[in-house]
Amino acid sequence: MPPNEIQEKLNLTKLNGHMKWHLQPACAIQNEGIHEGFEWLAKSMVEQVDLTEPIKETMTDLTKWENRVMSLWKTMDFKSLWDIFTRFF
């Protein structure tokens, strides 16, 4: 079955823009197209990995925590807090 017929029967055109897909003509018995198909798969998976994303998320989280701590620091009445603390010790 030709790739364009498979594309039509599976209605793959609906996925355009939403999901990356590729039809690779292949014949395992004759060892044709298998290597190319796996090459495309490996290449497309590597393109989607952003190694900096976890670092960006961590930096954003740290900035949020810093802002919260600084906000709390600015609003606290340390004399009252010290008075409460010294009553117990």
Kindly state whether residues 37 and 18 are assigned to the same domain. yes
Kindly state whether residues 9 and 35 are assigned to the same domain. yes
Kindly state whether residues 80 and 66 are assigned to the same domain. yes
- Within a 10 A sphere around the Cβ of 4, how many other Cβ atoms? 9
Q: What is the largest CA-CA distance in the chain?
A: 85
Which stretch of DSSP H or E encloses residue 71?
Answer: helix 53-75
Read off the pTM: 0.45
Domain that holds residue 62: 53-88
Kindly state whether residues 44 and 65 are assigned to the same domain. no
Q: How confident is the model at residue 29 (pLDDT cuts 50, 70, 90)?
A: very high
Q: How confident is the model at residue 48 (pLDDT cuts 50, 70, 90)?
A: low
Number of independent structural domains in the chain:
2
> What is the per-residue pLDDT for 49?
67
